[in-house]
């Protein structure tokens, strides 16, 4: 059966941690395509994103363009209001009624999602794969799984990926402070950030 990967996130900005996790999942689960889905308004974040949905989408597009199995999806940026994962999964279910859907997250997001009130319903729509992430232990996972019942066993997988202690929050801070982000984001994303003046970066911040 065809398997599709879905990687949701704020992507403010998209970095190599996202890409490494997505590609590891693609390989491990034999996913035909991985859709990167930047949120419009993330309902669960404390602070609003700094870049606009359109800018975050464009960075995702630039970062994924040269991977034949990666796609940038407009599903959430085109849907007004807060971006709920349940709505996105329903949309992909309709677009790919025959496919197995795998929602790819980091360890932090996996635990968060599974403790949402509609977690059980989420599990009926897709399987979840959580990529290990430095600083976010998965010890609590077995407990959370137990609370979710039988379906959780087959529908939740953990994937070991090379540890990249990179976060969008830290990248925004680096840009603001004039510190390098080279090799932490794709080159075109780096150029985009400085050209658009995102995160308080100055155009001259882009060294050749």
The number of angstroms, rounded, from the C-alpha of 119 to the middle of its chain's C-alpha atoms is 18
Q: Please, which residues have CB within 8 angstroms of residue 195's CB and are 6 or more apart in sequence?
A: 203, 206
Binds ligand ATP (CB under 6 A): choice among 73, 85, 88, 168: 168
**Between 18 and 155, CB nearer to ligand ATP:** 18
184, 49 Cβ separation under 8 angstroms: no
Q: 11: left (phi > 0), else alpha (psi -120 to 50), else beta?
A: left
Q: Is 105 in the site for ligand ATP (CB under 6 A)?
A: yes
Among 33, 83, 92, 133, binds ligand ATP (CB under 6 A): 133
Nearest Cα neighbor of 129 from 34, 41, 56 is 34
Which residue among 74, 87, 167, 174 contacts ligand ATP (CB under 6 A)?
Answer: 167
Q: For the CB of residue 17, give the shortest distance to ligand ATP in the complex, in Å.
A: 2
Cβ 83 vs Cβ 41: under 8 Å: yes
**Residue 88 touching ligand ATP (CB under 6 A):** no
Contact region with ligand ATP (CB under 6 A), list: 94-102, 146-154, 162-170, 180-188: 162-170
- Identity of the residue, 135 or 149, whose beta carbon is nearer to ligand ATP in the bound complex: 135
Per-residue exposure over 143-172, b if at least 16 CB sit within 10 Å of its own CB, e if not: ebeeebeeebeebbbebebeebebbbeebb
Residues 8-67 that bind ligand ATP (CB under 6 A): 9-12, 17-18, 21
Residue whose CB is nearest to ligand ATP in the complex, by number: 106
Find the binder of ligand ATP among 27, 140, 169, 191 (CB under 6 A). 169
Cα radius of gyration rounded to whole Å, the chain: 17
> Does 152 help bind ligand ATP (rule: CB under 6 A)?
no
Q: How would you class 48 by CB atoms within 10 Å of its CB: exposed for 0-12, middle for 13-18, buried for 19 or more?
A: exposed
Give me the residues that bind ligand ATP (CB under 6 A), please: 9-12, 17-18, 21, 105-106, 108-109, 131, 133, 164, 166-169
């Amino acid at each position: 059966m065809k398997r599709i990967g879905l990687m949701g996130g704020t992507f403010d900005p998209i970095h190599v941690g996202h890409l490494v996790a997505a590609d590891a999942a693609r390989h491990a689960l034999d996913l035909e395509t991985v859709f990167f889905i930047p949120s419009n308004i993330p309902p669960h974040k404390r602070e609003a994103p700094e870049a606009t949905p359109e800018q975050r989408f464009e960075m995702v597009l630039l970062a994924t363009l040269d991977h034949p199995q990666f796609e940038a999806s407009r599903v959430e940026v085109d849907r007004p209001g807060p971006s709920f994962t349940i709505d996105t999964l329903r949309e992909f279910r309709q677009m790919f009624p025959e496919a197995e859907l795998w929602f790819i997250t980091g360890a932090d997001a996996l635990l968060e999602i599974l403790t949402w009130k509609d977690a059980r319903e989420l599990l009926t729509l897709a399987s979840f794969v959580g990529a290990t992430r430095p600083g976010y232990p998965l010890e609590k996972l077995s407990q959370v799984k137990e609370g979710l019942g039988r379906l959780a066993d087959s529908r939740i997988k953990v994937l070991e990926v090379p540890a990249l202690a990179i976060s969008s929050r830290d990248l925004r801070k680096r840009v603001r402070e004039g510190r390098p982000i080279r090799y932490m984001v794709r080159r075109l994303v780096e150029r985009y950030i400085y050209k658009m003046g995102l995160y308080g970066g100055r155009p001259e911040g882009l060294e050749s």
